[in-house]
Amino acid sequence: MSNLPDTPHGTAVPATTEGHSDRSLAVPDRFENPGMPPHAPRRADVDPRAAKRAERQVASLFLLSILGTLGFLVAYFAIDPEARGHVPGIGLMSLYHLALGLTLAISLLGIGFGAVHWAKTLMPGEEIAEERHPQRSDEETRDAAAQILSDGYRGAQLHRRPLLLFTAGGALALFALPLAVQVVGGLGPLPGDRLARTHWRQGTRLMVDPAGTPIRPEHVTQGSVFHVMPEGFVGEEAEHELDADELLVAKGKDSVILVRLNPEDIRSQKELDWGYEGIVAYSKVCTHVGCPVALYEQQTHHLLCPCHQSTFDMTDDCKVIFGPAKRPLPQLRISVDEEGYLQAEGDFEEPVGPSYWERG
């Protein structure tokens, strides 16, 4: 047990003896509330001219935010998204993105600086301390909370300074427009039939990817696999004539896998009719999320998507036999042209790749 004496405020703690007197220091169980420092009124609290000047400053900041928002809308529709220019200290950059960034920054900063300046100069500035209390409130407390909100409305001087109310409301209301315009503008332009059509046409030759050479039926031995693209969209000539975006789009929807099967193994008459002597061509774009279906199992004649393991049966219209894909791979009807090269008999009969909500 401790031999230290008890005091009215707790247990005494011995002091160190090195250079100090041998006496006890009392530690109270509870510290008294020191209270708040005296309130120092702001200049706007005592000078009506200073208050009016602060009001004009806050309103000017909100008006600046409104101008920034309107400038954003003008820039969004008026400036060419491909416009480029040299900016000092940065270099060559998109003038479209620069204008959008600056105007949106002005819109945000106007609201932020205006709100802060409003709070610092015109809103109530008294320091308030509130004791903790149970979370559940009685009716009297709820009425008091409603009264506090009402007092806050009056304390912010909104009833006396309609200019602040209108400019702040206008800045906050218009601020949502840049966000809404970007969302709506990002939905367009409408794709039309670009998702439903590829570059395969009647008479388009099947070309080896990436060499860009045509294919004769005798080149496709049983069990062999060819990755093919339409003529004009693969090879060195296509790389010189087409830009990178066109080649990327073609790669994303025109890719086809070509396989020769034993006609006796094919269980679908439509697959036999659309092929040539057991050579069949199917879209290489998975109908789940668009990954390339490029893994062919020669013994089972299954096509496997490496992304999510969707598996398609090449002997039965490439129907799904496993995995998350919901549709078979579309088949490309093929034949042989006058020079003996494999060619397409037209585009796919259905859209390739993943399903989308407009697909009828």
pLDDT in tens, 200-236: 999 999 999 999 999 999 999 988 899 999 999 998 8
Kindly tell me if the per-residue pLDDT of 99 is higher than 70.
yes
Q: Considering only 50-59, 65-74, 179-188, 203-212, which range has the smallest mean pLDDT?
A: 179-188
Residue 177 exposure: Cα atoms within 13 Å on the Cβ side = 20
Q: Is 319 among the domain residues? A: yes
Count of CB atoms situated within 10 Å of the CB of 25: 9
Rounded to an integer, the average pLDDT of 249-256 is: 92
What confidence tier does 178 reach under pLDDT thresholds 50, 70, 90? confident
Does 177 lie in the same domain as 286?
no
Kindly tell me if the per-residue pLDDT of 8 is higher than 80.
no
Cβ(100)–Cβ(83) under 8 Å?
A: no
Domain of 47 in residue numbering reads as 43-126+145-185
* Structural domain count of the chain: 2
Q: Which long-range contacts (CB under 8 A, 24 or more apart) does 160-168 make?
A: 161/55, 161/122, 163/55, 163/59, 164/55, 164/58, 164/59, 164/62, 164/118, 164/122, 167/58, 167/59, 167/62, 167/63, 167/66, 167/114, 168/58, 168/62, 168/114, 168/115, 168/118
Q: What is the pLDDT of residue 9?
A: 47
Give the tens place of pLDDT for each residue, 327-360: 999 999 999 999 999 999 999 998 899 877 555 4
Q: Considering only 26-35, 59-68, 152-161, 203-212, which range has the smallest mean pLDDT?
A: 26-35
Kindly tell me if the per-residue pLDDT of 305 is higher than 50.
yes
Rounded to an integer, the average pLDDT of 8-32 is: 57
Q: Considering only 29-38, 84-93, 109-118, 226-235, which range has the smallest mean pLDDT?
A: 29-38
Q: Is 135 among the domain residues? A: no
Q: Is 354 among the domain residues? A: no
Kindly tell me if the per-residue pLDDT of 25 is higher than 80.
no
Q: Residue 286's domain is classified under what CATH number?
A: 2.102.10.10
Does 211 lie in the same domain as 113?
no
Does 209 lie in the same domain as 340?
yes
Does 338 lie in the same domain as 257?
yes
Kindly tell me if the per-residue pLDDT of 115 is higher than 90.
yes
Q: Distance between CA 121 and CA 46 in Å, rounded?
A: 11
Percentage of the chain beyond pLDDT 90 is: 55
